[in-house]
Structure 1
Amino acid sequence: MTLASEVDRDGWRDHARRLLQAGIAPEQVTWTVEGRREAGELDLSPSAIFPEQGSDPIAPPVRISKTLLSLINTALLHSNEDRFDLAYRILYRAQSIPGLHRNPADPDMLKLNRHAKAIRRDIHKMHAFVRFRKIGDSAGREQFVAWFEPDHHITQAVAPFFRNRFTGMDWLIVTPGASIAWDGQKLSVGPGGCKDDVPQEDVIEAEWRTYYANIFNPARVKIGAMKSEMPMKYWKNLPEAELIPSLLEQAGTRVEAMVARGQEDMLFEDRMDKPAANLPTSLDQLYTLLEQQTDAPMEKFSDRLVRGIGPDHADLMIIGEQPGDQEDREGRPFVGPAGQLLDRVFEETGIDRQQTFLTNAVKRFKYTQRGKRRLHETPNVGEINYYRWWIEQEIRLVDPRLVVALGATAARSLTGKPVKISRHRGEILSGADGRSILITVHPSYLLRIPDEQGRQVEYAKFVRDLQLANQFVRQERTSR
């Protein structure tokens, strides 16, 4: 059976269905792809001839579970040339063994699962390590190209991801096997190319190298983990990779400088306004006490207290600024547009929202009424300071391994002073109580960026910050 290309999954399914209906066993079938013979493969097999249909015009149905079909569709993108034979053999066996895909010890299923796992990992790496280079502008749209070398035939499969992520710009991604492009209207697939077809540097990379050098934390360097998450085969395509050797060499000196700077300029203030004997012993008690306070700032604030949400004890705690209009109406944090964007980043970084504690530095919605609309108004220093003690108690009760402050208000709530996010972003800091803190932007900041390309750059930075948070929490779990 000859397929049109290495990714001709539709052709494989059509041929496999006809073969099964004709009752042809796997050992009677050889699968190949047009063009492989040009690479030196000698194919002397004759063309397939199907048995003539008998008097019964109704072909027997082909039965396959959705789970197995999805697994096969993924595994067929593998570079191993036996994948089509393997998939047909499994499909043939599944007609008489319906539960075959549920047997992880079966040799064929074991191999199919390994293929599918390799494809998922290769797709993840392509999502993470494609680096675009700007080549110009056309009709008001910026144009970018990128070079990538996947291990498997995944280029067409990842095209929708890049279209959805980079809708606002024209781009071309070249790989050895195929190229994909987006012009703002449609996705196109073309032949592969070579690295020399793509520019190797542009003006954006100088800014990116500066950013990477600033967020590189020498105190938390783990070479093994770095190479596992960012294999060295991808380093040659990453502009930041050339900085890593020198940054590692300077790690000892930089750690000493960080310690000295921390002693000179303490970011966090100690604070404990109430005696330990009066501290609340549960989150419910904490919020009940806060609702009973008569001295809370109320001018321009909603009457409704929006409580934090999540497990009573969570490894990761995320603090935003204050509830928005939608959060105030529903009584839950992060359910508006900023919360939806945060959910998207959670999905990309592998953070489980159900296992994360979400709350706000200021517990009520501050707004200005404009007709029927309630417009967000930033809380002032006094209002932030009022809720500081309550945030500290919330952190004490949840007892997270890492607290992430989203935006300047949350950062000030933790530190007691104004914070320049760009200076501390991307670092794991130690709070006044020794608890680990990470400071980054609020997702609403991303929603306010008018330029699509600028928004994509900042979005990528935000994703990296939450990836760092997730990796830190995982490392802390395994080290204790």
Structure 2
Amino acid sequence: MSTVVRLAQSFDEWRAAARELIALGVPPADVAWQSRPGDGDLFSAAPDATDTSAPLLRLPRPLVELLESAACFNVPDRWAFLYQVLWRWQQGQHDVMSPADADGARLHAMVKAVHREEHDMHAYVRFRERPECEGAPRFVAWFEPVHEVLPQVARHFARRMGATSWMIATPAASMLWDGTTLHAGPALMQGAADIDDAGEALWLTYYRSIFNPARVNADLLHSHIPSRFWKNLPEGGIVPAMLSGAANGERRTGQTASVGQRSGATMIPIAAERAQPVREVATSLDQCRRCELWKSATQAVPGIGPAQARIMLVGEQPGDQEDLAGLPFVGPAGALLEQAMQEAGMARDSIYLTNAVKHFKWEPRGKRRLHKTPAQREILACHGWLEEEIERVQPQVIVALGSTALKSILQDGAASMTPLIGTPVQHAGRSVIAAYHPAYVLRAPDESSRRQAYAVIVAGLRQALRLEQDSHHSVVAGTSCPSSRRA
């Protein structure tokens, strides 16, 4: 078949063309995508409109969202690549959504880069106030995004800035907010120098006054704000001189030269290492960077269950499916655990399920991501999140599914499963029960071993129920008659 040319200048145009091509059964190799009219091949042809044997295109919402985000990634072959992903999905190759797949890995990397660019625009767009002029926006900002994320970012600022009018200009386009409606338009500026801001001098004076040379960390400053943003930040023009001053002696006194020159001011020598600020720890699991596992994981996977569950089950770490879904115990091991819970008489919706390590640690094996046991340093790095869950949920009984969970709960790197199976231990006022992880059952070499390991899990869950009921009865008995307790 001759090459089919399709024009796509936006995601909506690409989606309409892709639907037509999928319905006509045109493979990716036979499609040439162009971003501007007139770029087509003189020998290209239209597809046979009578060929409609392909099934109706139906996509899961997560795939649509991935494609829509990846469409903002600014590379020449993006439309061809997205059509290849779409074609593979329609052919039944659903692993194209997995980061373990080559195309899936590229798709997720594109989406991640686009989201990062959106975050950078949220953080580094600087609005400058313009002189009042009827019909003109009150605030104007200039930004040079790597990817085409201006519409999404404009919606973000429209929600945050209320009825105040503003405009964000980029080299390719601009977005104007008039207080009620967003308007898209062509590029209207050449750079940040085109913006006249009378208040910028006041801002720079304030910035200089809060600058502490004794606490400056140039490497950290540049790692937090990539160099490509500095040229368009108002303070970008004065930071190099302030860093130079800090390196040339102001760091020793902890104050700028202008402060030391004031009448009556005293120079107070301090040690630079003692002037370093206390760095804030991560305030949410998604922000956690205490170990390296977040770099290869799709997302952190928190626990799930009732706010005050009396029994908590703690596994090792998320698996491949848990990593993609963002929920614990939803893969094959989760299905086996649910079967064991039913056999033990334990209702899943009354139990809090979580893992000792919150990011999926894996190694590539062909197109698959295979589980890799977390190292002790990674267990320790994640222990704070498990402690926070235990403190919040306040379970009476904790079932450690596997040795990783046991080591984390007991905070003992030498803790062993075998001596504790069937023998609950008290730790921090709670009963801790050791049982095999469901994945251990799935990996057992023969049927006899699988039955034995599965029986240990069921017995551990039943034991947890008995201990929870005994604890509940003792609490009720101890609080139902205060007068007898005093006697």
Return the TM-score normalized by structure 1.
Answer: 0.49
Question: Greater RCO between the two (CA within 8 Å, min separation 6)?
Answer: 1
Q: Over alpha carbons, which structure has the higher Rg? A: 2
